[in-house]
Structure 1
Amino acid sequence: MKRTLSQADWQALLDWYQTLTPDTLPDIGRFYTDAARFKDPFNDARGLANIQAVFRHMFKTLDQPRFTVIHALRDGDQAFITWDFDFIYAGRKLGIHGGSHLQFDADGKITLHRDYWDAAEELFEKIPLLGLPVAWLRKKLKAA
């Protein structure tokens, strides 16, 4: 029998994102279909194993990564979440503000997870040697 995403399952998903660790990553199959797609400015992963690999890479390369959900909106088989992602990289505390568009199948599992965030402002400008040229370019392209 097909079902839609219940309020309890929706809250469980939001809680899972906010408490995600290498130990809870295997629970991803509870929320994503086997053929789900995850896309962000750096990755385009298809299939549960490849999406897990993206998250494993995150845990391998970043210290103390943590998502905090700011707003969560759901309408039928679509949802949008705004979030803050805080982490430590090379001893520096950094953060990214972004959003995720989610699409669900008839069983309430994610078929598409698309992250939107400004890689130039949120990341590249904070990297030594790269930050100044990116900031200069953003200033040049900015409307008066």
Structure 2
Amino acid sequence: MSALDRYAAFFAELTPADLARFDQFFTPDAIFSDPFNKVQGVAGVQAVFEHMYTQCAEARFEVLEVISAEQVGYLRWRFHFQLKRDKAMRRPIEGVSRVVIAHDGRVSEHVDYWDAAGELYTQFPVIGGLMRWLRRRLAVPAVGGVG
């Protein structure tokens, strides 16, 4: 099993209890970035995930695909979540992570790419309406679209 496969399995099974083990999976100077955060160091990465777990009543990642090339790989994932104030799960968010594996097999860089406007913001009443309106205004009129 490659280092990226081990990391993907860890990511897919991640729970709040695993936050204490982040130093086993991230280098001391690891960089983590997503649409809301950019942190460096294990403590910074832990803080991002601690915040996620404090905001979500339920949160889990489903790893859909793992692609590896040398020290760089990509994880395609689906994030399932329910905010603490929600009565039900929200629509899952899909994204891709670019992961750089250091020579010791730990992650030195994890950058998430996902559409915050289309995947997340549209799920909230006020900002969702604004985002849907903006998308309609900016989109090319339908011509042979894929749905």
- SS of equivalent residue, structure 1 residue 143: coil
Letter in 1 for 2:112: D
Specify the alignment match of 2:40 in structure 1: 46
Specify the alignment match of 2:123 in structure 1: 126
Deviations 1:58-101 (A, max 9, x none): 00010110000000001101000000000111224122111100
Letter in 1 for 2:6: A
Q: Distance in 2 between matches of 1:109 and 1:87?
A: 26
Number of aligned positions between the proteins? 138
Q: Distance in 2 between matches of 1:131 and 1:54?
A: 24
- 5+ residue gaps in structure 1? 1-6
- The alpha carbon displacement at 1:10 in A equals 3.2
Specify the alignment match of 2:144 in structure 1: none
- The alpha carbon displacement at 1:8 in A equals 4.9
Specify the alignment match of 1:24 in structure 2: 18
Q: Match for 1:102 among 87, 91, 99?
A: 99
- SS of equivalent residue, structure 1 residue 130: helix
Specify the alignment match of 1:141 in structure 2: 138
**What's the TM-score, normalizing by structure 2?**
0.89
- 5+ residue gaps in structure 2? 142-147
Q: How does 1:75-86 map to 2 (within 5 A)?
A: 75-86=69-80
What RMSD, in angstroms, separates the aligned Cα atoms of the two structures? 1.1
